[in-house]
């Protein structure tokens, strides 16, 4: 019974979240670096892809670190 | 409409998101072996996850698009849906009600009604709830498809099929856990997707002070959404203009708002709606279940900045020139386009993909929340109770799979029905008024008054629902014709006319609640108790031993968290008074 109760959390939700946002962040940051500056006219001249891409990347990395720490603790 | 052009990078992001959503379903498949795993996540989820899922499940169509639309139409008063219409109820359900939901070991809200009252009360609630969830899920799907058709030129039918299939696959494979995990994913996506929009929007109007100045001209202009000049702060002060219904854009006075929305509708929804309560029931301990709505309250309180503010900025931008928001088929300004218009205006390709993905995520989470609640209520409260009791667990798990498919198909049918109605928010409020408003009276009496009987609860609920219907049939909002808006009982010769349909909804809820409350008490006193004290242990307040929260650090104690949440909400109300 005890074993079954822990089944739901065997997949740490932070893992898929972390991977997805690292991926999203990386793609958008790189796109921000190489995209035509003209598209940032709408975002008031700010290269929002570059900056927000980095934020998303950092958030994803933070989630992965948390998941990794939890996994280490469980072992 | 400002057509939004998606670049290939935006599609790439959208497909990555779909892949992750489905991937979570596949990854959870092997952990979903019993009906408890499928319907209740094996009661194994930590509080922060159930907490985020708790708000995310509610973050469907009405939230992103509807709240953006209301932000444009009513300004900052819309945040009453959060600070008055959600936070107090969320604290109440966590601190006072969760001990009975979680402690009674009921697997659903209708099942709690059976433990507390009787079969007929449960059946009534289960059937009403099942109908309501299918409708909500259908509306969510319809709104998504219509929106994508309008702004991106996608095919309506294709959108319905794709979103239905994705939600179907991930729930079918991973059950409630899958829905909850995806809701958490969607929560972060919505927050991270909308933050840059709010930042850029605010920056373009000169910050908060610039927005206030612009909205003051909106408020004093005769061509604003209210259609008449109001006091300058009407769009940016949440309480200052609520003394009379005619002084604010929402058309409600403070009493109707606080009682109708803040008390009846809000408590009816957050405290008794299985869609949200189910998330807390999946928590891994009593303490985690109680903390679920309290943890949810913190982000919920700040959500107006993400979902209402874009609408307020949109109406400020619309005021200069009157072209920012498009017109609908009837020639009226289409406020539902406030958020999409903001996305189109400020987000460049790249982040635009994230914004659109977040929008889709919000619709899917709203839909998935309804489907998981529906399949549980159907399987446990209708199928297992009345159609085929006493089968093996595997039988009910199989039923869960089947009904998930059926639920999605019914939702699709409802999506097409929903095309007939244009204002989502009013439509949902109408359904909630009929179903949820009286329910909170039943639970309040059930949990805290042990003399309440099964007959009392049943006839109370029935008469409360009828009172809501009767009220709706006898009243109309100004300028509406008889039909879905009301007045159908008296051939249009209504007893009372409300300034706006929002006020009509609030008052319907107040009448429904009061009727249910009084009838339940009267009938209970006239009938014999149908449950022994022993049966009611853990179900009713006075017969349940107080919970001792020993060995839990202070910041994890529900009562402490509850007080912090309430104080924070009061501070927000004062800042934006």
Q: pLDDT value at position B432?
A: 63
Q: For residue range B289-307, list pLDDT tens digits in order.
A: 999 999 999 999 999 999 9
The answer on pLDDT for B389 being more than 80 is yes
Q: What is the CA radius of gyration of chain A?
A: 18
List of chain A residues whose C-beta atoms are within 8 Å of the C-beta of residue B186: none
Task: Identify the residue with better confidence: B238 or A5.
Answer: B238
Q: pLDDT value at position B495?
A: 80
Q: What is the mean pLDDT of chain B?
A: 87
pLDDT tier at B66, thresholds 50, 70, 90: confident
Closest Cβ opposite residue B351 in set A9, A13, A52: A52
Per-residue b/e over A11-41, b at no fewer than 16 CB within 10 Å? bbbbbbbbbbbbbbbebbbebbeebeeebbe
Q: CB–CB of B367/B140 below 8 Å?
A: yes
The answer on pLDDT for B428 being more than 80 is no
- As a 3-state breakdown, chain A gives helix, strand, coil percent values, each rounded to 5, of 80, 0, 20
The answer on pLDDT for A5 being more than 70 is no
Task: Identify the residue with better confidence: B542 or B377.
Answer: B377
Highest mean pLDDT among B99-103, B260-264, B397-401: B397-401
- Cβ-based contacts under 8 A for chains A and B: 107
CB-based contact A43 B347, cutoff 8 Å:
yes
The answer on pLDDT for B424 being more than 60 is no
CB-based contact A6 B188, cutoff 8 Å:
no
pLDDT tier at A2, thresholds 50, 70, 90: very low
Q: pLDDT value at position B301?
A: 92
Summarize the confidence of residues B248-254 as an average pLDDT.
84
CB-based contact B192 A19, cutoff 8 Å:
no
Q: pLDDT value at position B546?
A: 76
In this structure, of A48-52, B3-7, B111-115, B335-339, the range with the lowest mean pLDDT score is: B3-7
Q: Could you give the CA distance from residue B119 to residue B441 in angstroms, rounded to a whole number?
A: 18
Q: CB–CB of B336/B69 below 8 Å?
A: yes
Could you give the 3-state DSSP secondary structure of residue B422? coil
Q: Which residue has the tokens 């509708």?
A: B265
The distance of B136 to chain A (nearest Cα, Å) reads 27
Q: Could you give the CA distance from residue A18 to residue B192 in angstroms, rounded to a whole number?
A: 13
The answer on pLDDT for A6 being more than 60 is no
Q: Could you give the CA distance from residue A37 to residue A33 in angstroms, rounded to a whole number?
A: 9
Task: Identify the residue with better confidence: A74 or B41.
Answer: B41
CB-based contact B203 A42, cutoff 8 Å:
no
List of chain B residues whose C-beta atoms are within 8 Å of the C-beta of residue A28: 9, 13, 350-351, 354
List of chain A residues whose C-beta atoms are within 8 Å of the C-beta of residue B346: 42-44
Q: pLDDT value at position B1?
A: 46
Closest Cβ opposite residue B204 in set A19, A20, A44: A44
Summarize the confidence of residues B495-517 as an average pLDDT.
85
Q: pLDDT value at position B224?
A: 83
Summarize the confidence of residues B356-383 as an average pLDDT.
90
In this structure, of A57-61, B64-68, B184-188, B203-207, the range with the lowest mean pLDDT score is: B64-68
Q: Could you give the CA distance from residue B101 to residue B93 in angstroms, rounded to a whole number?
A: 9
Give me the helices (H) in B153-233, please.
156-204, 207-220
pLDDT tier at A4, thresholds 50, 70, 90: very low
CB-based contact B44 A6, cutoff 8 Å:
yes
Summarize the confidence of residues B429-453 as an average pLDDT.
84
Q: pLDDT value at position B56?
A: 87
Q: What percentage of chain B has pLDDT greater than the value 90?
A: 45
Highest mean pLDDT among A1-15, B38-52, B222-236: B38-52
Q: Could you give the CA distance from residue B365 to residue B362 in angstroms, rounded to a whole number?
A: 5
CB-based contact B348 A9, cutoff 8 Å:
no
In this structure, of B137-141, B267-271, B423-427, the range with the lowest mean pLDDT score is: B423-427
> Which residue(s) pair with B486 in the sheet?
B483
Q: For residue range B316-368, list pLDDT tens digits in order.
A: 999 887 788 888 777 888 888 899 899 988 999 999 999 999 888 888 888 88
pLDDT tier at B62, thresholds 50, 70, 90: low
Q: For residue range A12-30, list pLDDT tens digits in order.
A: 899 999 999 999 999 999 9
Q: CB–CB of B482/B488 below 8 Å?
A: yes
Q: pLDDT value at position B421?
A: 62
Give residue ranges of B with CB < 8 Å to any A CB: 9, 12-13, 16-17, 20, 23-24, 27-28, 31, 33-34, 37, 41-46, 49, 177, 181, 184-185, 188, 192, 195-196, 200, 203-204, 282, 284, 345-351, 354
CB-based contact A42 B24, cutoff 8 Å:
no
Q: pLDDT value at position B429?
A: 59
Task: Identify the residue with better confidence: B281 or B223.
Answer: B281
CB-based contact A53 B13, cutoff 8 Å:
no
Q: pLDDT value at position A8?
A: 42
Q: What percentage of chain A has pLDDT greater than the value 70?
A: 88
The count of C-alpha atoms lying within 13 angstroms of the C-alpha of A40, restricted to the half-sphere facing its C-beta, is: 15
Q: Could you give the CA distance from residue B446 to residue B380 in angstroms, rounded to a whole number?
A: 21
Q: Could you give the CA distance from residue B22 to residue B166 in angstroms, rounded to a whole number?
A: 7
In this structure, of B39-53, B163-177, B212-226, B479-493, the range with the lowest mean pLDDT score is: B479-493
Closest Cβ opposite residue B27 in set A11, A23, A31: A11
Q: pLDDT value at position B198?
A: 94
pLDDT tier at B520, thresholds 50, 70, 90: very high
CB-based contact B188 A19, cutoff 8 Å:
no
Segment (H or E) for B477:
strand B475-477
The distance of B406 to chain A (nearest Cα, Å) reads 25
Could you give the 3-state DSSP secondary structure of residue B327? strand
């Amino acid at each position: 019974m005890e074993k079954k109760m822990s089944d739901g959390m065997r997949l740490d939700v932070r893992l898929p979240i972390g991977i997805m946002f690292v991926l999203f962040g990386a793609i958008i940051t790189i796109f921000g670096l190489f995209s035509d500056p003209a598209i940032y006219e709408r975002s008031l001249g700010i290269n929002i892809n570059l900056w927000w891409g980095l934020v998303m990347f950092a958030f994803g990395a933070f989630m992965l670190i948390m998941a990794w720490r939890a996994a280490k603790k469980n072992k | 409409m400002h057509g939004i052009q998606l670049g290939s990078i935006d599609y790439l992001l959208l497909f990555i998101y779909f892949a992750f959503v489905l991937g979570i379903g596949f990854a959870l498949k092997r952990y979903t072996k019993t009906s408890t795993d499928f319907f209740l996540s094996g009661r194994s989820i930590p509080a922060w996850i159930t907490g985020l899922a708790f708000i995310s499940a509610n973050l469907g169509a009405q939230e992103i698009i509807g709240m953006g639309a209301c932000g444009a139409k009513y300004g900052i008063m819309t945040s009453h849906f959060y600070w008055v219409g959600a936070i107090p109820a969320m604290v109440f359900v966590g601190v006072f009600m969760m001990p009975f939901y979680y402690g009674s070991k009921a697997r659903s809200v209708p099942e709690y009604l059976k433990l507390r009252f009787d079969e007929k009360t449960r059946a009534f609630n289960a059937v009403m709830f099942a109908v309501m969830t299918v409708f909500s899920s259908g509306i969510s799907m319809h709104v998504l498809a219509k929106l994508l058709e309008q702004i991106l030129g996608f095919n309506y039918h294709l959108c319905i099929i794709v979103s239905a299939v994705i939600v179907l696959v991930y729930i079918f494979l991973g059950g409630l856990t899958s829905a909850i995990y995806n809701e958490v994913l969607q929560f972060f996506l919505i927050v991270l997707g909308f933050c840059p929009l709010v930042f850029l929007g605010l920056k373009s109007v000169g910050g908060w002070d610039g927005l206030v100045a612009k909205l003051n001209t909106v408020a004093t202009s005769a061509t604003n959404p209210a259609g008449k000049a109001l006091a300058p702060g009407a769009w940016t002060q949440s309480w200052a203009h609520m003394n009379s219904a005619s002084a604010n854009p929402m058309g409600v006075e403070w009493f109707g708002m606080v009682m109708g929305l803040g008390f009846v509708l809000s408590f009816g929804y957050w405290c008794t709606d299985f869609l949200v309560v189910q998330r807390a029931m999946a928590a891994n301990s009593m303490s985690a279940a109680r903390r679920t709505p309290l943890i949810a309250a913190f982000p919920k309180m700040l959500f107006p900045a993400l979902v209402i503010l874009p609408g307020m900025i949109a109406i400020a931008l619309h005021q200069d020139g009157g072209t920012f928001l498009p017109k609908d088929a009837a020639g009226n300004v289409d406020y539902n386009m406030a958020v999409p218009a903001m996305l189109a205006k400020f987000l460049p390709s790249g982040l635009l993909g994230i914004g659109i993905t977040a929008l889709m995520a919000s619709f899917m989470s709203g839909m998935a929340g309804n489907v998981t609640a529906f399949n549980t209520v159907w399987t446990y409260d209708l199928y297992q109770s009345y159609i085929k009791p006493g089968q093996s667990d595997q039988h009910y798990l199989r039923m869960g799979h089947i009904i998930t498919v059926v639920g999605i198909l019914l939702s699709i049918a409802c999506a097409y029905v929903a095309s007939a109605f244009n204002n989502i928010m009013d439509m949902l409020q109408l359904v909630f008024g009929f179903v949820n408003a009286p329910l909170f009276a039943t639970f309040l009496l059930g949990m805290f008054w042990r003399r309440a009987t099964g007959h009392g609860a049943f006839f109370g609920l029935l008469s409360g629902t009828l009172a809501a219907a009767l009220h709706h049939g006898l009243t109309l909002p100004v300028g509406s014709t008889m039909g879905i808006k009301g007045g159908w009982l008296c051939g249009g010769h209504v007893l009372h006319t409300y300034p706006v349909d929002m006020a009509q909804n609030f008052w319907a809820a107040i009448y429904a609640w009061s009727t249910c409350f009084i009838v339940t008490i009267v009938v209970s006193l006239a009938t014999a108790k149908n449950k022994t004290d022993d049966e009611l242990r853990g179900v009713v307040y006075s017969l349940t031993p107080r919970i001792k929260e020993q060995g839990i650090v202070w910041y994890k104690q529900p009562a402490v968290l509850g007080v912090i949440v309430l104080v924070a909400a009061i501070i927000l109300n004062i800042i934006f008074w």
